[in-house]
Structure 1
């Protein structure tokens, strides 16, 4: 079986990002890094307590962190949990207007488990609000665009 990755690959040229766009993009990548470490509390530091989330693998709209934790509890654990072998973010578009922002990007994830390997592509859209100087997600929509067997 392939080795798990601990890094998020990003080849985005952020030289034209303003400080708010850069802060949002850095927060997004920090969340993915925390996911790879299995640290949901660090992920939650970037999510407003009353945020709404459409997770890619369920039809349920999570309304707040408690609902999000219910969705997380349904994910595979232990030996049945897929091993992430590659995670890549790309093509961010981030629009900021005062204390509100909208971000969009692609997330590609390669996984392997006892059944084989998969490649997933998600389109991720998020609403952000700046609260006391920190950007927090107030809505997230993960759209599982395609899954390819490798």
Structure 2
């Protein structure tokens, strides 16, 4: 998977937040966002302490933003799922690369049904062929919420073991 083929939403000094151009969850069923580190890492065990904290913080911000923004867009995201994966990269020459999948799970979903595990068959099965990515209006709303949350009391202060 290449982060250059995704749809930009937001970035920090260390991470990209992007909508999936070929999502595993259709926008009408909650949407699909990636969080990529700007440096190539195999998995989260290679993150420094500061990058690990930022990765976790961004996942929380993205989940909150996805849920609130999609609600304004008429999609009731009942829960957000988070996954680190890389299974499809294990046989590539460069191997797997760390990235987080953030999935909105709409209560009204009919394909990736609310309350069920996400189905993730290989791409060549055609399962995802008709899934629509988040659209420009969705992305604008998600970006606004990310920017607002980044300045909120919960997220603006540095995190460490004394502030948790």
- Tell me if TM exceeds 0.5: no
Higher helix share: 2
Higher relative contact order (Cα pairs below 8 Å, separated by 6+ residues):
2
Give the TM-score of the pair, scaled to structure 1.
Answer: 0.31
